[in-house]
């Protein structure tokens, strides 16, 4: 956690048992529109080449009209301008949580990496409410690029 919070650079965490033929060619991007998510998306973009895949996943707490989420559409258009095949996915938050949803979506999409913004809340908020970043650190089935 300290490295992710203090490095000032993206941090790639690879699960001990992870084996794959590729890394960074099919990335699932956790999207929330926050500063940290924007950084993660752009850090992931630097790894992707023309013809690679980006799956932009927004996990919402409440059901709402997807068309109102213009930020993920704008991000998809920016990736497409670089020849990256992009899909937009919207899911609704359920237990067991965001980390489980991202792992499940990455598996179903055939992703070889997850990219997310990290620790977007204060340390106090994370301590009291909990942090999706911490949850993903503990339970990631795929390499995760954490950006802050």
Q: Helical H runs in 51-110? A: 70-80, 98-109
Assess whether pLDDT exceeds 60 at residue 65. Answer: no
Position 84 confidence tier, pLDDT thresholds 50, 70, 90? very high
Position 133 confidence tier, pLDDT thresholds 50, 70, 90? confident
Q: Where are the domains of the chain?
A: 21-147
- Classify each residue of 33-63 as buried b or exposed e, where b means 16 or more C-beta atoms within 10 Å of its C-beta: eeebbbbbbebbbebbeeebbbbbbbbeeee
To which residue do tokens 């956690």 refer?
1
Position with higher pLDDT, 109 vs 8: 109
CATH superfamily of 21-147: HUPs (3.40.50.620)
Assess whether pLDDT exceeds 60 at residue 89. Answer: yes
Cis peptide before 96 (omega within 30 of 0): yes
Is 77 in a helix, a strand, or coil?
helix
Percent of the chain topping pLDDT 90: 57
Assess whether pLDDT exceeds 60 at residue 97. Answer: yes
Mean pLDDT of 97-107: 91
Model-level pTM? 0.86
Assess whether pLDDT exceeds 90 at residue 33. Answer: no
Assess whether pLDDT exceeds 90 at residue 87. Answer: yes
3-state secondary structure the chain: CHHHHHCCCCEEECCCCCCCCCCCCEEEEEECCCHHHHHHHHHHHHHCCCCCEEEEEEEECCCCCHHHCHHHHHHHHHHHCCCCEEEEEEEECCCCCHHHHHHHHHHHHCCCEEEEECCCCCHHHHHHHCCHHHHHHHHCCCCEEEEC
Mean pLDDT of 41-61: 93
Assess whether pLDDT exceeds 60 at residue 23. Answer: yes
Rounded Cα gap, residues 85 and 53, in angstroms:
5
């Amino acid at each position: 956690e300290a490295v992710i919070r203090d490095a000032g650079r993206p941090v790639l965490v690879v699960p001990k048992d992870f084996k794959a033929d590729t890394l960074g060619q099919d990335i699932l991007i956790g999207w929330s529109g926050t500063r940290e998510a924007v950084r993660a998306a752009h850090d992931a973009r630097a790894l992707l080449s023309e013809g690679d895949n980006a799956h932009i996943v927004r996990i919402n707490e409440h059901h709402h009209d997807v068309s109102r989420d213009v930020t993920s559409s704008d991000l998809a258009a920016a990736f497409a301008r670089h020849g990256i095949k992009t899909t937009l996915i919207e899911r609704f938050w359920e237990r067991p949580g965001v980390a489980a949803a991202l792992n499940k979506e990455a598996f179903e999409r055939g992703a070889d990496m997850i990219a997310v913004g990290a620790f977007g809340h204060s340390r106090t908020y994370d301590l009291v409410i909990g942090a999706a970043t911490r949850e993903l650190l503990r339970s990631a089935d795929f390499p995760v690029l954490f950006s802050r």
